[in-house]
Structure formats: C-alpha cells, structure tokens
Amino acid sequence: MPLSGRQLLAIAAPRWVFGALGLVALAGCTGSDGASGDRTIRPSLASVAFSELPGWRDDNLAEAVAAFRRSCPRLTAGGDTRIPADNGERRNTAEDWKRVCQGAEQVRDARGARTFFEQNFQAFAVGGQGVEPKYTAYYEPDLRGSRAPSRRFTIPIHKKPSDLQAGKPYLTRAEIENGALRGKGLEIAWVEDPIGLFEMQIQGGGRIALIEGGSLRLGFDGTNNRPYTAIGKVLADEGAIPRDQVTAQSIRKWLQANPQRSRDVMRRNERYVFFKDTKGAGPVGAQGVTLTSGRSLAIDAAVMPYGIPVWVDTMRPGAGGAARTPYRRLMVAQDTGGDIKGPGRGDIYLGSGNAIGDIAGRFNSGGRMFLLLPKKN
C-alpha cells in the first residue's frame, strides 16, 4: 500500500514508500532475478511495432497523454535520460523530450493521442535473461480523524521534527508512540485507528476525513531513518499466518483480531514516517509531479528514468475477491519505492480510498512490460 524518493530509505518519498506489498515482503519474494530486485541485471530492449502491444487499440490514450504532460517540465529541464541495456544503452536528450512534449501539448482527443504516440515514440519490449516483469499496486488510504485530541481520537500524526538529521537514526517507532515527541507541537491531527495509521505510513500518504468537517491530505515528509521490517514476514515466520496466505488483508485481519499483540508486532518495524499537509493537492510521486490514478507507475529509478511512458500488460484482481481480468494500459514512470527494485518491476498507483486498497493489497501479477522512447530525428 501506496512513498516517493522511496528507495532513498532515509529520505523516501510518497507512498509511495513501500507499496501495498511492502507490508508483506516475504523472503520468497526476493532472489537473484530482475523481478525480485537484482540491479546488476540489464534488460534487453527489443524494438516492436505498436500492433504487438496487447490491447493497444483499446486503451484511452488521452488519459496517458495528460499524465505524460505532467512529467514534461522535469524531462525537458533535466539532462539526458539513459537506460542501460545488455544490447546497447538507450539514450535520449532533453531536446528529444522537448520535441515530443511540444507534440503532446497539441493532442486534443483519444484519436490524436494514439497518433501522437505512434509517430513520436518507438516501443521496446523489456526482456532478457533473469528479467521477469512483476506488478504490484498501491493507493492513498482514508482515515477518520480530528484536528484536536479527544477520548475517541488519541493517536497523533506527526510532522517532521526540526532536529531530525538526514541519514542519522532518530527515535524508534516505539519511543515515538510512547510519547517521546509529546509537547513539541508536531501533531498535525489525531486518529482513532492505529492499524490504519500504520498502513498510511506504509503508503506514504493519505486523506483524513475530519470530524470537524472537511479533510486533510497528507504527504510523505521523511522518516526516522530506522530499519524497515515487513510485518507480513514477521507474522509468517512466527506461524501466525500461513506463508502462502500473507496479504495486506490477512495482515489487517490478524492485527484487528489480536489487539494485545498487534502493537508489538507493528513496532517490530522501527521505521516511522512523518507527514506534511499538502493543502489538498493530490499525492506527489518521486519525480515531483502529482500522480494520476491508473496512469502513474512506480519503477526502480536506478534502472529506469522518470517520465518514460510504459505499456503495462498484466492481470488485475477483481473487487471482493472476484476473478482477475487483463490490465493493459499506457502508464508513466513517475514514482519509486523501497521494494521496487530491478528491471521489469512496476508498482501501479490505483488511486484513493479504502475500496481501492482491497484491490491494491491483492495485486501481485507477472506479465509483460514495454517502454516507449522518443524516436530520433
């Protein structure tokens, strides 16, 4: 569940920190292949026609153009973008991006969007030995809360302390929850659900529906620079949940059913996230742009530049445990995450609300990945 600059560990960013499966992170999810996080593996990029992208003719590409436009100021102001590949580095200059971004501004409808991408970009299939695309998802959770503490709302949400130093370990989760920051004026709001706040910290942001009326939208603003521990792995190792049944939903169910033990289990994850009031703006990814539901993708920024359009071909869980259905659409690499490592790894931003969280928590599928890179003049 939806942190950014997320893999900067000490300075992760929205969700955008670890994603829905950041709760889980079982040992079986890690290994030596590209899908599980080996950054030494370079993908091969094979040029393909747009007709070879499954579902290409069915997507509403006008939505993808809108998301891509949000990345354009960053792409055109930056330096070259490079993708290391075992069959040759793919490099594009800021001028390449400027040209295609100017074209994006002229798109007016879905038909024009399709023409824009097909005329200005070349599609490449991501593959190669050890590269196995894998997709998860994240979201922006909702909580109930108040601007003032009460007998109902007792759990504070903290903004970043002024004495927090980058990279230097700060107070642990247990120390903060026991009141070590009390009296420092760091409380943004108070909530009633400790599990919900823990999940919001995993996501790196969320919305607070205020009992006084209105709402707060909170975004990631740093961590206490303590180690991150996935409590799904803790519960599996201790036999509390069968390893093959660990999901975000099963973790929450166990925590709710075991209130006397849940606090100690959550405290096994020493990482504590601080927030800031974003003044109503949508969640912002690691690229520094507002994320778009169903169009923003978190990738490993160590192996793929931000702003690149990515064609996703995978399977999406159905609501309420319904059967999976094909999920094929054009997204834009605009975020990253602590558990998003290696070529072929993608984390899909599904949007806001706890209903979306049910789907995000069960999203864990293989598939195919295609990158769209600007054509050379």
pLDDT for 256 equals: 96
Can you give the pLDDT at residue 248?
A: 86
Give the three-class secondary structure for 1: coil
Q: Are residues 53 and 82 in the same domain?
A: yes
Reported as a single tens digit per residue, the pLDDT across 92-151 is: 999 999 999 999 999 999 999 999 999 999 999 999 988 999 999 999 999 999 999 999
- Looking at residue 11, which CATH number applies to its domain? 2.40.240.50
The three-state (H, E, C) secondary structure of 144-188, written as one string: EEECCCCCCCCEEEECCCCCCCCCCCCCCHHHHHCCCCCCCCCEE
Task: Show the 3-state SS of 12-47.
Answer: CCCCCCCCHHHHCCCHHHCCCCHHHCCCCCCCEEEE
Q: What is the pLDDT of residue 130?
A: 86
- Of the residues 236, 258, 277, which one is the last residue of a structural domain? 277
Distance CA(216)–CA(372), nearest Å, equals 36
Measured distance CA(174)–CA(248) in Å, rounded: 22
Give the residue among 197, 209, 227, 94 at the shortest CA–CA distance from 144: 209
pLDDT tens digits, residue range 340-365? 889 999 999 999 888 888 898 889 99
**Residue 111, pLDDT score:** 95
Q: What's at 73, amino acid-wise?
A: P
Pairing between β-strand 134-140 and β-strand 345-352 as defined by DSSP bridges: parallel
Instruction: Give how many domains the chain has, as a whole number.
Output: 2
Residue 143 included in any domain: no
Could you read off the pLDDT tens digit of each residue along the chain, which spans 377 residues?
333 333 222 223 344 444 444 566 543 332 333 444 566 788 999 999 999 999 999 999 999 999 999 999 999 998 899 999 888 899 999 999 999 999 999 999 999 999 999 999 999 999 998 899 999 999 999 999 999 999 999 999 999 999 999 999 999 999 999 999 999 999 999 999 999 999 999 888 899 999 999 999 998 899 999 999 999 999 999 999 999 898 888 999 999 999 999 999 999 999 999 999 988 778 888 898 999 999 999 999 999 999 999 999 999 998 877 889 999 999 999 998 777 889 999 999 999 888 888 898 889 999 999 999 999 87
Q: Which residues make beta-bridge pairs with 309?
A: 332
pLDDT at 24: 61
Within a domain: 344: yes
Domain final residue pick, 277, 302, 331: 277
Instruction: Tell me the one-letter amino acid at 278.
Output: T
Query: Which pLDDT does position 281 carry in this prediction?
Result: 73
Domain of residue 53, CATH code: 2.40.40.10
Structural domain span for residue 157 = 6-28+148-277
Q: Note whether 358 and 230 are same-domain residues.
A: no
27: amino acid identity, one letter: A
**What is the reported pLDDT for 38?**
66
Residues 119 and 187 in one domain: no
